[in-house]
Structure 1
Amino acid sequence: MKRILWLLIAALTTAVLYYVSRFWTFRLWPRDGLFGIEALRPQGGLVAQWLRGTDLAPFELLIWAIGAFLLLTALQKLYDLLNKPPE
């Protein structure tokens, strides 16, 4: 059961990271956004949208990669913490 839960967490994390990146190409919901939330636009690319108009906009892919690395590291630490072998 734990394995299925962690596989679902990994799949959800993958989908979220993919959606936030510039590589999301699917348009799975209407133009007014997911659940009517305009910030969750169907074409993804949220990091670029968040950085638009700032000096960091050219570094959008690097910022996404660092954020993905930090998120995956935190999930690995959580997994290790919750699945310690018995002593």
Structure 2
Amino acid sequence: MKRILWLAIAATVAAVLFYVSRFWDFRLWSRDGLFGIEALRPQGGLVGQWVRGTDLAPFELLIWAVGVFLVLTLLQKLYDLLNPPPE
């Protein structure tokens, strides 16, 4: 049961990270945004939206990659903390 829970958490995190990236190409909800939240537009690309107009805009993909690495590292640390290896 724990394994299924952690797989579901990993899949959800992967979907969120994919949505935040510029590679999201699906239009699964209306233009009003997910649940009416305008910041959650259907075409994704939130990192690009967040850094648009700043000096960091050319580094959007690098910022996303570093963020993904940090999120996955924290998720692994949480998993290791909650599931110690058997002795």
Instruction: Return the TM-score normalized by structure 2.
Output: 0.97
Partner of 2:13: 13
- Correspondence list, 1:31-50, <5 A: 31-50=31-50
Residues matched between the structures, number: 87
Provide the secondary structure at the position in 1 that maps to 2:23: coil
Partner of 1:85: 85
Identity %: 84
Instruction: Return the TM-score normalized by structure 1.
Output: 0.97
**Which runs of 5 or more structure 1 residues have no equivalent in the other structure?**
none
Aligned Cα RMSD in Å?
Answer: 0.7
Mapped to 1, the partners of 2:85 and 2:4 lie a distance apart of: 18
**Which runs of 5 or more structure 2 residues have no equivalent in the other structure?**
none
